[in-house]
Amino acid sequence: MSEENNDKKPINEYWLEEMRWEVRRLIVRFCDPKERGGRQKLFLHNKEEIEFTKHKPDEIEIFYSLIKDHRNYFPYLIQHLSHESETQSVETDHVTGTIDFQKTWALKQTGSSKLVCLTYKKNIFTPENIMLGYIIHSINHVATEYLNRRKEWDENNLYSDLEIKLRDLSAYAYFLQKDRFVSKLMNHYYRNFDSYESLLGKISYRMRSGKIRPQYKQLIKFIHTWMKLDKILSEPSSVEVEVAKHVGNLSDDRLYEYYVFYNILRALGNMKQKEKPNRKLSEQEFSNGTYTVEYQATKKIEWKKNGTELFRIPDTVIKKDGKVKATFDAKCMKYDTKLEEEERTDDWKGMPDRTIVNQMIIAMDYGKPKTNADIGIVLFADDYNQSTVVIEKGPKKIHFLNMHPENSPLDTLDKVGEIIGLKRMPNS
């Protein structure tokens, strides 16, 4: 990544924090822990390692106390769910609700004898209600995960009291899940959302707009406490704490590289981490059997300086069946940021800085043919939804896209999927 030279950051602190949350979640999802020398280690995509310890009983005590402090609040909220009124037009033989005279008159002109009436129904699928359903499900899920991993935190069977507490929480959440509204909210979440982050964004917007009723303030407070304790992830462990520390120390440029890399894994679907054959333990790649993704795969470009070979290290490469399919570069900057003084010519209008373009050309064009790519993709942290800019030379094309966390990054990844030949990215 090139150093920032903008007076204004391309991503504000709110969206940087959202990126940190997502990167943390995706690291835990895709990087498999391994035991080395009596320590648990997480090998990241870029040769970095994160050490962590296994579950501890005090984690469970904190989790139990958090739910205990709120256990009377959840049933109350279920009984007082917020709703939004929705209006719909219905053609009917008799009066149902309010007659829409204008539409009814128009319908009469067609020869119909029916009326058009406006009916109103309650919509309980507000973001805050959906989050409530997800939280209740998560309580049961986390409690069950701890129970399933008892040998990890209670090798000598010294904490039977914690087992009782976990079973109590699981039974409590299961009881709440049987409520027909909670069940509907949970099903709605799993049909329409792939993560809780998008819900948090919607809730934040509704809070700023004054659309969330006061009784939900405690739920919002609970969510933030839950998140800070890193217990909302599918596998609660102190690994999340160490990952959070690591991600929290990343520069904005590095964070954006992480964000792009792990979202590419997410979009390709079913990616598994594996060690590179005949390489150091820390060198990792990710594959789903068809596609392989590598971070900063060193590439010889067959140029030398004083007899020493020069290398180009693109941020990310995607291989298909062993051959480089596409080369990616992540730029935490605005699309129109200039790194150098350049002569403005008509052919360069609407293009990013020449240095960025030339870096990608070198990565694609030079070196052994099997390491070259016909597709280059440069992603900018720009919240402006410009049309895709493409430059080409024969079969080779370089695409310049914006991928800002505020502006539907999954839409950008769908474009990436089209570019590399997928009908649709899985977005799993």
Beta-carbon contacts of residue 166 (< 8 Å; ≥ 6 apart): 60, 64, 143, 146, 147
Residue 215: is its pLDDT beyond 70?
yes
What distance in Å separates the CA atoms of residue 337 and residue 5, rounded to the nearest whole number?
8
pLDDT tens by residue, 247-265: 999 999 999 999 999 999 9
Single-letter residue type at 388:
T
253: exposed, middle or buried (Cβ count in 10 Å: 0-12, 13-18, 19+)? middle
Residue 164: is its pLDDT beyond 90?
yes
pLDDT tier, 19 (very low <50, low <70, confident <90, very high otherwise): very high
User: How many other C-beta atoms are found inside a 10 Å radius of the C-beta of residue 16?
Assistant: 18
User: What's the chain's average pLDDT?
Assistant: 80
User: How many other C-beta atoms are found inside a 10 Å radius of the C-beta of residue 139?
Assistant: 26
pLDDT value, residue 233: 41
pLDDT value, residue 283: 65
DSSP-based three-state secondary structure for 131: helix
Residue 22: is its pLDDT beyond 70?
yes
pLDDT value, residue 153: 76
pLDDT value, residue 172: 94
- Strands (DSSP E) found in 46-107: 49-52, 84-92, 98-99
Residue 339: is its pLDDT beyond 70?
no
What distance in Å separates the CA atoms of residue 288 and residue 269, rounded to the nearest whole number?
7
Which whole number is the average pLDDT over 408-426?
78
* Between 7 and 137, residue with greater pLDDT: 137
pTM over 0.95: no
Residue 335: is its pLDDT beyond 90?
no
Buried b (16+ CB within 10 A) or exposed e, 60-96: beebbebbeebeeebeebbeebbeeeeeeeeeeeeee
**133-137, 143-147, 301-305: least confident range:** 301-305
Which whole number is the average pLDDT over 113-130?
83
**32-41, 60-69, 112-121, 237-246: least confident range:** 32-41
pLDDT tens by residue, 81-111: 887 766 677 788 887 777 788 887 888 888 8
Q: What's the number of CA atoms in the CB half-sphere (13 Å) around residue 34?
A: 15
DSSP-based three-state secondary structure for 342: coil
pLDDT tens by residue, 220-234: 888 877 776 554 344
* Residue given tokens 């992603």 in the structure block: 379
User: Across 291-295, 297-301, 304-308, which has the greatest mean pLDDT?
Assistant: 291-295
For 341, phi then psi, to 5°, come to: -75, 130
Q: What's the number of CA atoms in the CB half-sphere (13 Å) around residue 337?
A: 21
Helix (H) or strand (E) holding 338: none
- Residue 91 contacts residue 115 (beta carbons within 8 Å): yes
Residue 297: is its pLDDT beyond 70?
no
What distance in Å separates the CA atoms of residue 340 and residue 329, rounded to the nearest whole number?
18
pLDDT tier, 340 (very low <50, low <70, confident <90, very high otherwise): low
The CA-atom distances, in angstroms, between 294 and each of 37, 43, 107, 244, 262 are 26, 13, 61, 23, 11
pLDDT value, residue 5: 43
- Residue 297 contacts residue 47 (beta carbons within 8 Å): no
Which whole number is the average pLDDT over 391-402?
88
pLDDT value, residue 74: 93
* Between 285 and 299, residue with greater pLDDT: 285
Residues forming beta bridges with residue 299, ordered by sequence position = 312
* Between 335 and 37, residue with greater pLDDT: 335
Q: What percent of the chain has pLDDT over 90?
A: 19
Residue 23: is its pLDDT beyond 80?
yes
**144-148, 166-170, 224-228, 277-281: least confident range:** 277-281
pLDDT tens by residue, 345-387: 555 666 777 778 877 877 776 656 666 778 889 999 988 766 6
* Between 172 and 394, residue with greater pLDDT: 172
What distance in Å separates the CA atoms of residue 344 and residue 348, rounded to the nearest whole number?
7
Catalogue the long-range contacts made by 387-390 (C-beta closer than 8 Å, 24 or more residues apart): 388/415, 389/350, 389/351, 389/352
